[in-house]
Amino acid sequence: MGKKATAIPELLRKMESIYGEQEPCWPTDPYGFLVWWHCGYPASDAACAKGWQSLNQVIGIEPEQLLAASPANLAGALRPGGMVPELRALRLKEIAARVKDEFGSDLRAALVGPIAQVRKILKTFPNIADPGADRILLFGGITPVAAVPSNCPHVVVRIQRGQERENYGVTYREAQQAIEAEVPETFDARARAYLLLKRHGQDVCKRTKPKCAQCSVNSTCAFFAGNRRGGRRTPA
């Protein structure tokens, strides 16, 4: 039998003592998040923040404002966010048109009822899969799902089990199950877990080159202890 997995509450306490309390740096309103998510590419907090700031200054984010802007002007406003601004401008117009026409310009009001149905609606928007839908459900105050940061589901998996699996969906699900089991089903508790795991994944437990030697939780990490579980293969 291996060592008992590190408990997530203990892990989060350690992370919080290092990083402090974390706050979301993106709009938590569901429509705002959809717009923000398309403000940068590749979509990172920094890229999206740049595009978001520019978009707000030049055009605005309301559906009517996005629809009234010319594609060229919209792309220009999104350019500070990185690559493919023309494509992102098209996506924003698509989102704005749907929110205006299908949801009366109030997407949040439509996200009620059975969660499976709400999730289905969210996943009809471009570039929103389960991780994005979970993030909106949690931070939008819709339901306290065990959301996992899409760019670092491996963090909790490495710590508790060892090397993450090759399949992203399996790793995401393993991380989600761990949070479901150990983090109380409240908005505050699950948002705190999301934000701390995200911060640790971005700063230290990077996907390809984790900084294990400098990691403050390495003494309780199964990956650091050498558990590779026959996981991800090195690409040829």
Residues that bind ligand SF4 (CB under 6 A): 158-159, 204-205, 210-212, 215, 217-218, 221, 223-224
Q: Which is nearer to ligand SF4, 135 or 158 (CB)?
A: 158
Q: Give whole-number Cα distances, 147 to 71, 128, 195, 202, in Å.
A: 34, 14, 10, 16
Least Cα distance to 70 among 47, 89, 96, 94 occurs for 89
Cα gap 155→15, rounded to integer Å = 12
**Closest approach of Cβ 146 to ligand SF4, in Å?**
19
CA–CA distance, 227 with 18 (Å, rounded to integer): 25
Amino acid found at 95: I
| CB closer to ligand SF4 out of 79 and 229 | 229
Q: Which is nearer to ligand SF4, 14 or 93 (CB)?
A: 14
For ligand SF4, give the closer residue by CB, 99 or 215. 215
Which residue, among 212, 229, 79, 216, has the nearest Cα to 166 in the 3D structure? 229
Which of 4/124 has CB closer to ligand SF4?
A: 4
| Smallest distance from ligand SF4 to CB 215, Å | 3
Which of 219, 146, 150 shows the shortest CA–CA distance to 186?
Answer: 146
Rounded to a whole number of angstroms, the minimum distance from the CB of residue 160 to ligand SF4 is: 10
Side-chain-side CA neighbours of residue 177 (13 Å) = 9
Smallest distance, ligand SF4 to C-beta of residue 195, A: 16
Beta bridge partners of 41: 82
CB of 178: closest distance to ligand SF4 in angstroms? 13
133 vs 196, beta carbon nearer ligand SF4: 196
**Shortest CB 199 distance to ligand SF4, Å:** 12
Q: Which residues contact 91 (CB under 8 A, 6 or more apart)?
A: 38, 126, 127
